[in-house]
Amino acid sequence: MTRRPTQWELDQRRNARIRELRDQREGPVRRRRRFQPIVLLMWFAAVVAAAAIVIFLGFLAFAPRLMSWVESNPGSIEHGVVRNFVEWYSPAELSDAPKSDTGERITVTVNPGTSDAEIGHQLFQEGLIRSELAFQWAVLQAGRAGNLQAGTYDLSPSLKPSEIVAALRQKAGPELQIRIGEGWRLEQIVSYLATTKSTMNVDEFASLVEKPPADLTSQYDFLQNLRVGRTLEGYIYPDTYKIDGNWSARKVLGLFLDTFEEHLTDKIRNGLAKQGLSIDDAVKIASIVEREAVLDDERPLIAAVYINRIQNPENGETNGFLNADPTLQYGQATFEHGDAPLDEWADIDWWAPLQAAGKDVGADWPKRLSRYQTYLHQGLPPSPIAAPRASSLSAVANPRGDYLYFVAACPGGDRDGSHYFAKTNAEHEANIAKARAECPAQ
């Protein structure tokens, strides 16, 4: 006979069943809870990565438009976030590099009140910079935002943005070495300066030397008696100079005149006084000597010829006529090219050989040039004709000999720069025949 389970046994079985069912239910639940944070984290990371990729691709697609906006608003580069974007996306836009290596000079006038951005746009339009953004960045790096100087400048595409900024704020620039040649006319000096990397405006320099203002000439005793309308021809001292590339035209001219004054020593001044010559007349003679003399030891002899001619006009030989070919060359070139624009001066031969001799030159010259025809007009020309060096000025202060004539010699069949000197016309004609015999091909 089967025994019925007791109540206690039934309760134990029921509790065991409950525990079994509970274990069956709770086992998987506990496992899901253990792995759920990892799954969520991975899911979140995937979403973030996908969003980042979408944003990055979208940013890349939008970046060109953003860069275009920055280029249109170069002033925005002062903001760090914009600068960081440009440095990441297009760092070359901020490079301090010149647009080209050409030495072309372009005149730019910056009007008062012009903003930095407007100046940058003007420079870009003129072909002086490759990037308005780079210029604006150079302005900010120089700490000159809003402080660029109005004025007229000669700039070059070969200048870096930082160098252009230095010029526009009239701060120290690169040191330049320039060479003004002996015997150059003003036009040659100006056209040479136009080939240098100086940022001064050469039109302004040309205006200063052609029409020197009174406040300039009053600073130098040797210029105070120049007649109205006279240029500074002959007073730009020929020498090698070191100048700041950003000096103004007025400052560069001041250096040239200061140097002339330094070479016009007391010894030279005293010698000129003994000759009864004013400084201006001495410079006129010295400029002719500069064009005639080749050998230094002949400068005092050539100077004596011209001084003797003008100081003894009744000598019966030369009658006060200089008969100086260089003055004819000066007058002829001025007649032919005096109205040429500055940008053509460098291509002109200002000392072209004369196509006629002596009195045949200058028949068509206007009256203002007539006195450069020293075969037909007595005395000195109206102005110096070139830039004389100190040795030519010294020769005028200390002439040697009582000669009235000279002709280029040709010893041994070669023109070596020497001359034959004579006191009378007969001696002079003999010297001419001698020179022709020595060098018949010339």
401, pLDDT greater than 50: yes
The full length of the chain comes to 442
Full 3-state SS string of 262-306: HHCCHHHHHHHHHHCCCHHHHHHHHHHHHHHCCCHHHHHHHHHHH
10, pLDDT greater than 80: no
- 286 in Cβ contact with 229 (< 8 Å): no
Average pLDDT over residues 279-285: 98
CB-based contacts of 176, cutoff 8 Å, min separation 6: 196, 197, 198, 242, 243, 244, 245
Return the pLDDT at 72.
59
Comparing 21 with 274, the larger pLDDT belongs to 274
Return the pLDDT at 297.
97
49, pLDDT greater than 50: yes
- 177 in Cβ contact with 165 (< 8 Å): no
Backbone φ, ψ for residue 269 (5° rounding)? -60, -45
400 pLDDT tier (thresholds 50, 70, 90):
very high
- 364 in Cβ contact with 335 (< 8 Å): yes
Q: The tokens 């450069």 sit on which residue?
A: 372
Full 3-state SS string of 160-219: CHHHHHHHHCCCCCCEEEEECCCCCCHHHHHHHHCCCCCCCCHHHHHHHHHCCCHHHHCC
Domain ranges of the chain: 98-168, 175-262, 275-438
Question: How does DSSP assign 79-116, residue by residue?
Answer: SHHHHHHHHHH-GGGG----S-S----EEEEE-TT--H
For 105-163, the pLDDT digits (tens) are: 888 888 888 888 888 889 988 898 888 888 887 888 777 677 788 888 889 898 888 88
- 349 in Cβ contact with 320 (< 8 Å): no
Token pair for residue 7? 């109540």
* Sign of the dihedral through C-alpha 385, 387, 390, 392: negative
Give this prediction's pTM: 0.75
For 325-378, the pLDDT digits (tens) are: 999 999 999 999 999 999 999 999 999 999 888 899 999 999 999 999 999 999
- 308 in Cβ contact with 404 (< 8 Å): yes
Q: Give the CATH number of domain 98-168; options: 3.40.50.2300, 3.30.1490.480, 3.40.630.30, 3.40.50.1860.
A: 3.30.1490.480
Average pLDDT over residues 316-320: 88
Full 3-state SS string of 339-372: CCCHHHHHHCCCCCCCCCCHHHCCCCCCHHHHHH
Query: What whole-number distance in Å separates Cα of residue 322 and Cα of residue 378?
Result: 7
Question: How far is the CA of 371 from the CAs of 24, 75, 356, 380, in angstroms?
Answer: 130, 60, 17, 8
For 201-238, the pLDDT digits (tens) are: 999 999 999 999 999 999 999 998 888 889 999 999 99
Query: What whole-number distance in Å separates Cα of residue 358 and Cα of residue 325?
Result: 7
Query: What whole-number distance in Å separates Cα of residue 280 and Cα of residue 230?
Result: 11
Containing 434, the helix (H) or strand (E) segment is: helix 425-438
For 164-193, the pLDDT digits (tens) are: 888 886 678 889 999 999 999 999 999 999
Read off the amino acid at residue 364.
D
User: Which of 149, 129, 125 minimizes the C-alpha distance to 137?
Assistant: 129
